Amino acid sequence: MYLTRFRFNTARADARRLLSSPQVMHAAVMSSFPNVLPTSSEQPRILWRVDHNSRAEVLLYLVSPERPDLTHLVEQAGWPAAAAVGTPGWQTFTYAPFLGKLEKGNVFNFRLTANPVHHARTRDGQPTKRTAHITAHHQMRWLLERQDTIGIRILAKPEHTRHTEHGDEHQLVVRDHRSLHFGKHGTRGRRVTLTTVTYDGRLEITEPEALRRVLTSGLGKAKAYGCGLMTLAPAKETR
């Protein structure tokens, strides 16, 4: 497995075009793998996520079973002149050594962009329908309810920093709520509506193997559209 990071040059029109549509971004991501045919029905699971850290710092992360080639993204949405003289246009890291070192009790900061949904019935007698959670309260609860399944425990805040609002007792923030609407490739007039949020928090590993599956296979729905990728970062000790 490989973890890849690419920074967009947001001053370029093609970068803004890619960032405006998860469908267009998905096509660009899949084009990074020469052995993956667009028409193939058995495509490998490739996870991706866009982090909007600031107006000038927008990063694409990929987790993939093969090493990607992002030359086309550098040419369209990066800094091709800098890449031509030896400055890397992207960074790819072998993921297996990091995954293999995960142990029960390890503490990490994490980030996850997800599509938190549930099944609800709008009318009596009607079948349930997949519906997005739209409040931060329910979006936070969506992730908290999955802690055991994905092999983590989201850490609690120190008691003196907690408030009475549900979910505020955890070291977890829900931000960057986005409601996306875009056309689906190959379908006339069909539109996709998608709600995404980004979770930042701190976790303790309870089941390393379960967490490895999430890190490499994703969590939740809409993985083709930039959801489901969780990444970990070292957590500094707090007092």
- List the structure tokens of 138: 């329910």
**Do 108 and 82 fall into the same domain?**
no
Could you list the residue range(s) of the whole structural domain that residue 118 is in? 103-207
Same domain as 199, residue 108: yes
Residue 61 forms beta bridges with which residues?
Answer: 5, 49
Question: Do 83 and 122 lie in a common domain?
Answer: no
In terms of domains, do 107 and 203 share one? yes
Token code pair at residue 104? 């029960």
- The answer on 153 and 120 residing in a single domain is yes
Residue length, the chain? 239
Same domain, 109 and 67: no
Same domain, yes or no: 169 and 138: yes
Do 62 and 120 belong to one domain? no
231 vs 79: CA distance, rounded Å: 25
Which pLDDT score is estimated for 51?
Answer: 97
CB 197 within 8 A of CB 174: yes
pLDDT at 239: 41
- Tens of pLDDT, residue by residue over 170-201, are 999 999 888 776 666 655 556 777 889 999 99
* pLDDT tens string 88-137: 789 999 999 999 999 999 999 999 999 998 666 566 666 666 677 778 88
> Is residue 203 one of the residues assigned to a domain?
yes
Q: How confident is the model over 219-233, as a mean pLDDT?
A: 95
Q: According to the model, what pLDDT value does residue 180 have?
A: 72
Domain total in the chain: 2
Answer whether residue 88 is part of any domain: yes
Average pLDDT over residues 78-86: 85
226 pLDDT tier (thresholds 50, 70, 90): very high
User: What is the SS3 assignment for 142-163?
Assistant: HHHCCHHHHCEEECECCHHHCC
> CATH code at 117?
3.30.70.1210
How many helices (H) and strands (E) are present in the chain, helices listed first?
Answer: 8, 11
Please report, as a single letter, which amino acid is at residue 7.
Answer: R
Burial 44-61 (b: 16+ CB within 10 A, else e): eebbbbbbbeeeeebebb
Q: If we measure between CA atoms, which residue out of 214, 232, 235, 231 comes closest to residue 45? A: 214
User: What are the CB-based long-range contacts (under 8 Å, 24+) for 160-163?
Assistant: none
Residue 212 lies in a domain: no
67 and 85 both lie in a single domain:
yes
Residue 47 has pLDDT above 90, yes or no: yes
